[in-house]
Every structure is written in structure tokens, then in C-alpha cells.
């Protein structure tokens, strides 16, 4: 007993001490975290400055943090670009931080309020309104990124990043959707050319569809997954192609139902699954898997898929064609853009601007095409012959002039509404007119709520 007794006292003392220590430690690390936050950049950069300027460097050393999601080729390229940038700008150090795509917003949501946010951040353009209305970003300085210059040099859909009259983000590269078609399956069905019109797409997909004796899909004529790319195809492809309009000038009103084109385009999209039965949800789990494994003859997908097809299905014999057109030509486009966080000021801001300018330079855009496979965001870079004549990139680039990027106020919310409307028709036999009407009304409500919040601020 006495022995236990003897140990007990020092142990309990130790426990108390360690408790105190952990309590202090917690405080310390908290302080450290908030001091490195963007609100007081001078303080945060002070300590590295002192140690590095001791060597006689008169210019202050600045460290900025760059965030992007984890996409191997992009991460590797940014590492490489940071080296190039640091060579050109000896006073600046850039630190790259990555998060998995699925967790990206989650990390932003948890780390930014904790004061551990980035200086320069890479964002999906569809998230911009949310980030802007949340006050997380600052507009790009007009002196360094004049709106007029952006509008003349970049593809017009980049203006989805223009909110309240100023640009908040600027892309290095952009993506569009196009027709991915399996050449072997086309040859088997004796189809020489990829479909160029709405009608041809229906005809071809009917010819290409193959079912077994039980009526189960062996080959889908057209992979049909509304939650993947098809909802984009509707908003920025089918709808304008049929002569309809997406949003009002002030981006407050959904105009899909203002002309018959909206319903016509919706019906056209739904008919592939409901009427023509050339594809449906969940076949081979999803559209990309079905196409990769040769079980879908056509898929509407983005230029961002070129890379993963090359690695996952190197033997797949496929081609790219512009989206089939109807009354007009139009293709959905999207991009990841770089923005500067709201709290960044002083030397850090200057460094961030320099880095942003570097990221949007012609040289970087070209490296981006080569290494990542995304298309240059500036017209003069994209329309060089070496890209236009590329078998895979060419069709994507040729569509850029006619492409649109829907102004998302809530990307996941808007997608969910669209998928639900499609499923109402497909699974619950709701008439397309009714599903479409509900879709427009619900999407409009999303916009009303968003703008009500914005107006209140």
C-alpha cells in the first residue's frame, strides 16, 4: 500500500503540471495561429524577415500561401511554377497547400474562420458568388487587372467572375464540354461522322444502343447521368442552342420558362432516357465508367476528362467532337480561377498580385495546356495552330467562342434541383412540363433567397 502511496503523489503532481502545460500549450498555439492570419500580415512575416535579412538583403522577404485542391498534375505544375516565380522574384516565397476536392470547401469553411486561410486561393467559378457575398475575397485591383483588358483578352464567359462591377478572380485555364465518342463502336454501327445536330445525336444514339435479350444495356447510345455533366449541358448548351436564355441581365431571374425553348431543351434531354431509352442513370454505376469501359458510345464530358482517360483507359479508341447544335451553337464552359483573400494587405498583397499576374501569363497558360490538359483562358494563347490542330484539344477550343458559363449562386443546390426534376420524370412519371415548371420555380427561389441575403448586406 505504501508503495502505491509513494507513487501516487508524484504522479498526481505530474498530472497537474502536465495539465497546466497542455492548457498553456493550447493557448500558445492558438495565438500563433491567429497571428499568422491574414489580418496582420506584417506581424506574421516579421520573424522570417529578421532571420533572412540578416544576410544583408535590403528587400523584405514575403511569404504567401497558395491553396488549390489536390489534383496531381496541377499540384506538380504549381510546384514547378513556384520555382520559376521565386527565381524571378527573389523576395517572395510561395507555399502551396492542397486539400482533396471533396473536402476543399469544408477546409475553407473550417480553416478560414480560424484565421488560417490562404493569400491566393484557387476556386471553382461556381463558388465565387458565395465566397464574395461571404466577404472572403477582395476584388482584383483595377490598376493591375483592368476590367477592359480582361474583357478584351479573355473568353467572354470569364465575366462570371465579375460581381458588383468588379472582377474577383481570374483563371489560368478553362474547360468546355464536348462529345466524347467511341470510334470502335461508331465503326461497328457504320456511323462515319460524329453527330453534329440534335437530330443526328438522337439517330446515332439509337443506332449505337445495344441491349441483351433481357433488355439490359450492353452499350448505352448516350450515357445519361443528369448529375454529372448533363445539367451543365442543359443550362449553357441545349437551352441557348434552342434559342432560350439562362439568366436576366442582373442575374436575378431565371429565364428558362420565358420562351418555349426552355421546355423544348428540357424535353430533348429527358427523352434520351424516357422516350428513346438510349441510356439511363446508374448503368455501369456512372457515365464516365460506362464510357471508359466501352459500354457507352457517346458521353457529354469535359476537357478535364482527357487526362484521366489517358491514364485509366489508354487503349480506348475515342474521338472528340463539338457539341451537336440546333438553332444556335453553344457549349458550357467552366473554370477554376485564382482570387486574393480579403485580409491580404501591404507587402503580401503586392506579392499576391505579382503571383497572380505570373499565373495568368502566356507562358504559364501554355505550360498548363501541356501538363494539365486544360485550355488557355486567353484567346490569343488558345487559338494558336498547335492547339487548334490537335485532334483532342481542337474541338474543345473551337467551341470557346460560343461558350457560356452559368452564374451559379449555389452549385450543388442548383444541380440537385435539376437532377430531381429529371428523376421526377424518369422515375415518378411526372409530365415533363410539370417537372420543368417546378424546377424553374425552385431554382428561382434559390436565387431570390441568395439576392435577399446580398441586398441585406
Partner 1 sequence: MITNTTQRRAAEGSKPLSLRLNYRAQRYLFIYLMLGIPVLYFLLTRLYPILYSFNISFREWDVLSPEKPYIGWANYTSLLEDEAFRKSLKNTFLYVVVGIPGQLAAGLFVALLLQNVKRLRGFFRTVYFIPYITSIVAVSWIFRWLLMPNGWINGQLLSLGLPAQPFLQSPDQAPYVIALSMIWQSVGFQMLIFLTGLEGIPKMYHEAAHIDGANAWHRFRYITVPLLNPIILFSAVIAGISYLQSFAHIVSMTQDGGPLNSTRTLVYHIYKLAFKSFDMGSASAATVVLFVIILAFTLLQLKILDRKLDY
Q: How far is the CB of 100 from partner 1 (least distance, A)?
A: 13
Residue 19 near partner 1 by CB under 8 A: yes
Query: Residue 335: which H helix or E strand, with range?
Result: strand 331-341
Nearest to partner 1 of 368, 447 (CB atom): 447
Q: Which of 63, 93, 105, 338 binds partner 1 (CB under 8 A)?
A: 105
What are the grid coordinates assigned to 170, written together? 481570374
Q: For the chain, first and last CA: distance in Å?
A: 69
Nearest to partner 1 of 127, 396 (CB atom): 127
Placement of cell 511569404 in the chain:
63
Using an 8 Å Cβ cutoff, are 297 and 274 in contact? no
Nearest to partner 1 of 35, 367 (CB atom): 35
Q: How far is the CB of 239 from partner 1 (least distance, A)?
A: 22
Nearest to partner 1 of 255, 454 (CB atom): 454
Residue 28 near partner 1 by CB under 8 A: no
Q: By CB under 8 A, which span of 101-109, 190-198, 324-332, 384-392 interacts with partner 1?
A: 101-109
Pattern of binders to partner 1 over 201-240, x per CB under 8 A?
-------------xxxxx--------x-------------
Q: By CB under 8 A, which span of 81-89, 130-138, 362-370, 390-398 interacts with partner 1?
A: 130-138
Q: How far is the CB of 145 from partner 1 (least distance, A)?
A: 22
**279 Cβ partners below 8 Å, 6+ apart?**
205, 209, 217, 220, 221, 222, 223, 224, 272, 273, 296
Nearest to partner 1 of 5, 386 (CB atom): 5
Cα separation, 320 vs 181, in Å, equals 6
Nearest to partner 1 of 204, 424 (CB atom): 424
Cα 285–Cα 413–Cα 269 angle in degrees, nearest 5: 55
Nearest to partner 1 of 13, 76 (CB atom): 13
Residue 6 near partner 1 by CB under 8 A: yes
Total site size for partner 1, rule CB under 8 A? 47
* Burial class of residue 13 in the structure, from the number of CB atoms within 10 Å of its CB (0-12 exposed, 13-18 middle, 19+ buried): exposed
Residue 266 near partner 1 by CB under 8 A: no
| Binding residues among 139-198 for partner 1 as defined by CB under 8 A | none
C-alpha dist (Å) from residue 80 to 75, 97, 219, 338, 354: 9, 14, 42, 17, 16
Helix/strand/coil (H/E/C) assignment for every residue in 254-306: ECHHHCHHHHHHHHHHHHHHHCCCCCCCCCCCCHHHHHHCCCEEEEEEECCHH
Nearest to partner 1 of 284, 451 (CB atom): 284
Nearest to partner 1 of 97, 133 (CB atom): 133
Using an 8 Å Cβ cutoff, are 74 and 304 in contact? no
DSSP structure string for 158-226: GGGGEETTEE--EEEEEEEEEEEEEHHHHHHTT--S---BHHHHHHHHHHH-EE-TTS-EEEEEE---I
| Binding residues among 397-436 for partner 1 as defined by CB under 8 A | 410, 412-413, 416, 419-420, 423-424, 427-428
Q: Which of 157, 277, 263, 164 is nearest to 217 (CA)?
A: 277
Residue 283 near partner 1 by CB under 8 A: yes
- Residue numbers of the site for partner 1 (CB under 8 A)? 1-2, 4-6, 8-9, 11-12, 15-16, 19, 105-106, 108-110, 112-113, 130-131, 133-136, 214-218, 227, 280-285, 410, 412-413, 416, 419-420, 423-424, 427-428
Amino acid at each position: 500500500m505504501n508503495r502505491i502511496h509513494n507513487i501516487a503523489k508524484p504522479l498526481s503532481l505530474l498530472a497537474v503540471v502536465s495539465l497546466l502545460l497542455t492548457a498553456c500549450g493550447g493557448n500558445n498555439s492558438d495565438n500563433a495561429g491567429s497571428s499568422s492570419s491574414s489580418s496582420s500580415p506584417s506581424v506574421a512575416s516579421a520573424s522570417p524577415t529578421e532571420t533572412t535579412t540578416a544576410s544583408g538583403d535590403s528587400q523584405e522577404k514575403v511569404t504567401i500561401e497558395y491553396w488549390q485542391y489536390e489534383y496531381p498534375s496541377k499540384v506538380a505544375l504549381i510546384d514547378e511554377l513556384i520555382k520559376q516565380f521565386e527565381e524571378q522574384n527573389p523576395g517572395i516565397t510561395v507555399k502551396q497547400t492542397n486539400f482533396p476536392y471533396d473536402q476543399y470547401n469544408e477546409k475553407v469553411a473550417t480553416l478560414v474562420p480560424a484565421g488560417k486561410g490562404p493569400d491566393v486561393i484557387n476556386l471553382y467559378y461556381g463558388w465565387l458568388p458565395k465566397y464574395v457575398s461571404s466577404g472572403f475575397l477582395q476584388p482584383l485591383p483595377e490598376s493591375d487587372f483592368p476590367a477592359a483588358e480582361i474583357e478584351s483578352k479573355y473568353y467572354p464567359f470569364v465575366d462570371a467572375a465579375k460581381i458588383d462591377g468588379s472582377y474577383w478572380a481570374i483563371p489560368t485555364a478553362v474547360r468546355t464540354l464536348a462529345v466524347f465518342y467511341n470510334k470502335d463502336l461508331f465503326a461497328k454501327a457504320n456511323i462515319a461522322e460524329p453527330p453534329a445536330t440534335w437530330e443526328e445525336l438522337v439517330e446515332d444514339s439509337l443506332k449505337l444502343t445495344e441491349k441483351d435479350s433481357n433488355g439490359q444495356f450492353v452499350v448505352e447510345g448516350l450515357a445519361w447521368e443528369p448529375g454529372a455533366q448533363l445539367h451543365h449541358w442543359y443550362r449553357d448548351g441545349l437551352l441557348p442552342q434552342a434559342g432560350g436564355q439562362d439568366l436576366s441581365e442582373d442575374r436575378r431571374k431565371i429565364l428558362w420558362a420565358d420562351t418555349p425553348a426552355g421546355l423544348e431543351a428540357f424535353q430533348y434531354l429527358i427523352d434520351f432516357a424516357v422516350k428513346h431509352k438510349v441510356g439511363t442513370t446508374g448503368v455501369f454505376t456512372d457515365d464516365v465508367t460506362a464510357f471508359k469501359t466501352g459500354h457507352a458510345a457517346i458521353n457529354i464530358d469535359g476537357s478535364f476528362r482527357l487526362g484521366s482517360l489517358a491514364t485509366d483507359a489508354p487503349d480506348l479508341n475515342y474521338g472528340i467532337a463539338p457539341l451537336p447544335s440546333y438553332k444556335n451553337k453553344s457549349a458550357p464552359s467552366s473554370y477554376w480561377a485564382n482570387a486574393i483573400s480579403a485580409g491580404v494587405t501591404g507587402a503580401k498583397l503586392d506579392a499576391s498580385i505579382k503571383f497572380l499576374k505570373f499565373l495568368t501569363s502566356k507562358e504559364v497558360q501554355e505550360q498548363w495546356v501541356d501538363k494539365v490538359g486544360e485550355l488557355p483562358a486567353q484567346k490569343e494563347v488558345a487559338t494558336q495552330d498547335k492547339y487548334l490542330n490537335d485532334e483532342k484539344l481542337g474541338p474543345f477550343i473551337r467551341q470557346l467562342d460560343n461558350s457560356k458559363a452559368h452564374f451559379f449562386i449555389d452549385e450543388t443546390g442548383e444541380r440537385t434541383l435539376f437532377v430531381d426534376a429529371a428523376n421526377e420524370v424518369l422515375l415518378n412519371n411526372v409530365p415533363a412540363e410539370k417537372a420543368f415548371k417546378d424546377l424553374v420555380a425552385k431554382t428561382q427561389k434559390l436565387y431570390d433567397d441568395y439576392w435577399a441575403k446580398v441586398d441585406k448586406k
